Structure 1
């Protein structure tokens, strides 16, 4: 098996797993919620920088998520130009539910591998992730 076949198989697996990712929202909205869950409240500028999107895109995603009750946007008392974004309780519950659903589905998928195969896959994935970071790929 050459690298082309392996690359194609990885892309096929990624496509098959795509339904687990976004749950009816844009990828930017999903990743924004995940990022806020992991990192806590952030300014629009910080979110844009950390997610690799424009401030305009981050603003639009936050507006939609605020409309859906998943985040709140508040102006900073010390600098009215800055807007801080935080998860609401509903947003935190929603992302936690989605992440658990995704974890359950992936765990069931990995059950087709025995423990040794899972350990080998883990080792190989860690090497690929490290190589991707070294080559400048971003999440």
Structure 2
């Protein structure tokens, strides 16, 4: 069902209202990402951000917590909490670096690899995969437009940008 909200112009015709059309598109994007993340959790028992971590560890074994934090663009405390859940469930293994015992490296366990093999795709989540498909100009335009939107919101908590979808953990 694809319809655009129409707003009556002063002439009485049904011209599309750009602000309401944009609002609808934002709702669709947010709800699609939330629905995907909740579906992931229902299907495999880990949330979307945890599944993304597993994908990163599959592609680059031995990452450290800070590196995962940077790849997911979330807060380090959030990364640590997500990882602890994965370690408890036996999907991720922590090891100490042989040259520097202070450094903890992370890797998938066999159980983590098996979970990732059967988990819903895309493992990184709907939004990161969709954003990666945009060309540079479209991504820059989207980023500028979103920044303009954020600039117009009073009392904005930019910390929300460091929380994975679907806004609750």
Band the TM-score falls in, shorter-chain normalisation: 0.5 to 0.7
1:14-71 Cα offsets, whole Å, 9 max, x none, are 3443433334334432221122123332012211222223333323322221221111
1:127/1:34 Cα in 2 relative to 1: closer, same or farther (>3 Å)?
Answer: same
1:131/1:19 Cα in 2 relative to 1: closer, same or farther (>3 Å)?
Answer: same
**Matched residue count:** 117
Offset of 1:130 from its aligned partner?
Answer: 4.4
- 5+ residue gaps, structure 1, are 104-121
Alignment partner, residue 45 of structure 1: 66
Q: Contact 2:40 / 2:47 at 8 angstroms: preserved in 1?
A: no
- Structure 2 distance, partners of 1:15, 1:63, is 22
Please state whether the residue corresponding to 2:139 is helix, strand or coil. Answer: helix
1:64/1:12 Cα in 2 relative to 1: closer, same or farther (>3 Å)?
Answer: closer
- Relative to the length of structure 1, the TM-score reads 0.63
- Structure 2 distance, partners of 1:20, 1:81, is 37
1:129/1:80 Cα in 2 relative to 1: closer, same or farther (>3 Å)?
Answer: farther
Alignment partner, residue 84 of structure 2: 63
CA RMSD of aligned residues (A): 3.4
1:24/1:82 Cα in 2 relative to 1: closer, same or farther (>3 Å)?
Answer: same
1:76/1:13 Cα in 2 relative to 1: closer, same or farther (>3 Å)?
Answer: closer
Please state whether the residue corresponding to 2:119 is helix, strand or coil. Answer: helix
Offset of 1:97 from its aligned partner?
Answer: 0.5
Offset of 1:94 from its aligned partner?
Answer: 0.3
Please state whether the residue corresponding to 1:21 is helix, strand or coil. Answer: helix
Greater percentage in helix: 1
Alignment partner, residue 73 of structure 1: 94
Alignment partner, residue 156 of structure 2: none
> Which residue, out of 16, 22, 31, partners 1:3?
22
Please state whether the residue corresponding to 1:78 is helix, strand or coil. Answer: coil
